[in-house]
Amino acid sequence: MQGWYPYNFPLVLGLDVAGVIEACGAGVTQFTPGQAVYARVDPGKNGAYAEYVLARTEEVAASPKSVGAVQAGAIPHAALTAWALVEAANLSKGQTVLIHGAAGGVGHLAVQFARLRGAHVIGTASGQNIGFLREIGVDEAVDYTTTPFESVAQNVDVVMDTVGGETQQRSWTVLKPGGILLSIVQPPSQETADSYGVRQQFVGSAQAGGALLAKFAAMVDAGQLKVTVSMVLPLSENRRAQTLVEGRHMRGKLALEIAQ
């Protein structure tokens, strides 16, 4: 990712934040000190693994009213990425989508967005998460440890890849002609896409943070969107949190909580 984000180290990591506004800059009128908000801070800067973080107004939205700060803080980047996948796919009612890593942070939100669009959703996960996939609305759940996804997913309109590697390579064969393979982890090969008569796209997260976060907050409060937080650790254990996330076996999201 060096070509995307030329970071200068040392760097405070973290993109997602939820809490209350301590102070507003001159000219800020849409937010007030003490207001509960959540945000995805600038990916080019990071900085959310901290007690205080600076954010631009366009990155911030009022937090969902129906959930606390821990759940709100788990939403922004994963939801913005899942939304970008659904938008890039131009999903519509009646289409079929295969979502790899459907139990993960981005995956479980992509499942819910796809269902809201009326798509038929096939999701892959390890055996321990198959029940969870059914809970969040997956139509066909595939345990990738025992069942090749190719034996279930065939002639699909869209593949959403959150895994990469061999999983991405095997996914070309399940697409219908003209279908599309989208990945957030590894740029798909245009040459391979051409050979199968399909399309491909490497997808980043949506950019219009605050406006979309306001939309997501309304969806959460309406019961249309639910983020699953499977583990909460104190901020001091952020190194352990990174290791757990990199293991790619988390259900939903992991959150860091700052002691009050």
Confidence category of residue 208, pLDDT binned at 50, 70, 90: low
CB 125 within 8 A of CB 136: no
Type of residue at 128: Q
Spell out a b/e string for 7-16, using b for 16 or more CB atoms within 10 Å of the CB, else e.
Answer: eeeeeeebbb
Q: Which of 89-93, 176-180, 183-187, 247-251 has the lowest mean pLDDT?
A: 247-251
How confident is the model over 1-59, as pLDDT tens digits? Answer: 677 788 888 999 999 999 999 999 999 999 999 999 999 999 888 999 999 999 999 99
CB 114 within 8 A of CB 122: no
Q: Please count the other Cβ atoms lying within 10 Å of the Cβ belonging to residue 74.
A: 26
16-76+207-257 in CATH: which number?
3.90.180.10
Instruction: Give the per-residue pLDDT at 260.
Output: 67
The edge-to-edge listing of strands for the beta sheet with 175-183 is 140-143, 120-125, 96-99, 156-161, 175-183, 199-202
Q: Which residues pair with 161 in a beta bridge?
A: 183
Instruction: Give the per-residue pLDDT at 212.
Output: 96
Distance CA 156, CA 165 (A): 20
Distance CA 51, CA 246 (A): 23
Tokens coding 47: 């900085």
Q: What kind of fold does domain 78-202 have according to CATH?
A: Rossmann fold (3.40.50)
Distance CA 153, CA 149 (A): 6
- CATH 3.40.50.720-classified regions of the chain: 78-202
Distances in Å between the Cα of 48 and the Cα atoms of 11, 72, 230, 256 are: 11, 14, 20, 10
How confident is the model over 71-83, as pLDDT tens digits? Answer: 999 999 999 999 9
Instruction: Give the per-residue pLDDT at 211.
Output: 94
Type of residue at 24: C
Identify the residue with better confidence: 260 or 186: 186
- CATH 3.90.180.10-classified regions of the chain: 16-76+207-257
How confident is the model over 132-170, as pLDDT tens digits? Answer: 999 999 999 999 999 999 999 999 999 999 999 999 999
Angle at 182 between CA 177 and CA 184, to 5 degrees: 165
The helix or strand, by DSSP H or E, that contains position 224, with its residue range, turns out to be none
* Residue owning tokens 């029940």: 131
Q: How long, in residues, is the chain?
A: 260
- The predicted model scores a pTM of 0.94
Instruction: Give the per-residue pLDDT at 3.
Output: 77
Distance CA 2, CA 184 (A): 15
CB 191 within 8 A of CB 212: no
**Percent of the chain topping pLDDT 90:** 90
